[in-house]
Structure 1
């Protein structure tokens, strides 16, 4: 294979970056790896930093990547539990890799003898020492708590496993003028409709690509989102303006299975290609911000809030379990902030 690989920290998470010239055969091959992702900003593919992936790309193994036999059995038990509970494949991969990282750090100890003090030691000597993010640390905590709840014989007191202090990162939001410029940038009706539907309904990228024509209810003016994040169905309102765009698009493309299909009929549009569609729109609109597809969802929520929509309705529309998740948009809304007069103006 004509590719090169190296270990990296990607968004403060250990990953393996894979570099190769654009080639359909290699792209298809890299997609067969679990949790393979394309970075639009860095222009490389990246994979979980696992022993298997290191061996595949002939990278040196780190001593912490090899769990003991009990650890391997524990991870297998944990994976079967997650499968039986019907967790998503992404969650299963994330939790198992997190548990593996933790258990292999203590590969000289019995799993049953690991204590709360060991959790603190792992945080200080691995997480902090390697400058890993608090979100990665939180993933580890989630895996630890869930795993040790299903294990009967343990020395860990689950309720005393502490979480890192949550980072207060505000969502990135575009102005209405910027959104309009992005949505008008493309002449291609498919590209224009995909981006417009994400913004107008506040969709996640995966939710858009999973849509089928039957999920568009033109009689009730709603979109049915099936089995979205958290395996929940929900409905969102469909604007008449978007409905007209969808009708024009459907007449032209006549999709077979999914509402938006790629070059192969019956297969959903590629997520990486959709990210490129947005990137091209940003360039055409002369917007230099490093906007992502999720920025459109953030902008939808913030603009709803600024127009007076109740936060409880926004929570339902976005599919958030907790109102606290939705409340973060109150911190980026400029409706009330713009009414505050700076004392500088009176000088």
Structure 2
């Protein structure tokens, strides 16, 4: 019998599962939003893979080099680089409790482009070209109430207050609840929508009746209507929000 020497597997040099679990549990206890936790894990894993080394062993100079790589080679937008910076600060300063982390990113560029917005005629054309009543109701809620796409897909039937003409938005950006106005035209479309679709839990559902509509589906509804209307300006469904941002009120 020939004996075969089997070399042990090399230790994992990137973000080990045990460290990842501890960091994720720390963020859960700190009540970090799911998207914040996702971003933190993404960039900590990114720096570990970049240096092919466990992130807890990296020093300030290496962290600064990684941020420089994101800016100069990956050419990420300042906002994205700032997310990476905050994610690494959370990991090293708060989770690992390092007090001497000397890392920074350049200040935000002063240049800022105004968002492309539709005229009233273009908005009317976009909504008119929605595929069906469900599409039209969703687009009118985004437009009339200034909702983010992540908010409109999580709306529940009970969130529509037709007596006070308000829409309750739970756990919006920053984990805060707020009220926003319900337009009369949106209410009229919603009444038709309730009559035909009779939503019970979520206002707009996906394939499963008890689950909210996926964000990608809502985005496709907007893209379909925009193309049918022959509109070229505006990027995503977020474009419709620019009409109603000043008509919201936080819940005290």
TM-score interval (norm. to shorter): 0.7 to 0.9
Q: Deviations over 1:178-221 (max 9, x none)?
A: 11111122362211111011000000011111111111111111
Counterpart position of 1:292:
236
Distance in 1 separating the partners of 2:117 and 2:133:
25
The one of 199, 219, 224 aligned to 2:163: 219
Q: What TM-score, normalized by structure 1, do the two folds share?
A: 0.61
- Give yes or no for the alignment of 1:246 onto 2:190: yes
Per-residue Cα deviation, 1:271-312 (whole angstroms, up to 9, x for no partner): 2222222122112211123531101012433xxxxxxxxxxx
Please name the residue that 1:67 is paired with. Answer: 14
TM value normalised by structure 2: 0.81
Match of 1:154 in 2: 98
Residue 248 of structure 2 corresponds to which residue in structure 1?
317
Shift of 1:87: 1.9
Q: Any conservation in 1 of the 2:167–2:179 contact (CA below 8 Å)?
A: yes
Pair 1:86-2:28 in alignment = no
**3-state secondary structure, aligned to 1:227:** coil
Instruction: Give ranges in structure 1 of 5+ residues lacking alignment.
Output: 1-64, 302-313, 320-347
Does residue 207 of structure 2 align to residue 276 of structure 1?
no
> What is the aligned partner in structure 1 of residue 22 from structure 2?
77
Highest RCO, 1 vs 2 (Cα 8 Å, sep ≥ 6): 2
Superposed CA RMSD: 2.7
Q: Which runs of no fewer than 5 residues in structure 2 stay unpaired? A: 1-11
Residue in 2 that maps onto 1:111: 56
CA gap of 1:236–1:177, structure 2 versus 1, over 3 A, is: same
Q: Mark the CA change 1:85 to 1:186 in structure 2 (over 3 Å): closer, same or farther.
A: same
In structure 2, distance between residues paired with 1:244 and 1:274: 20
> Is 1:194 aligned with 2:125?
no
Matched positions, count: 237
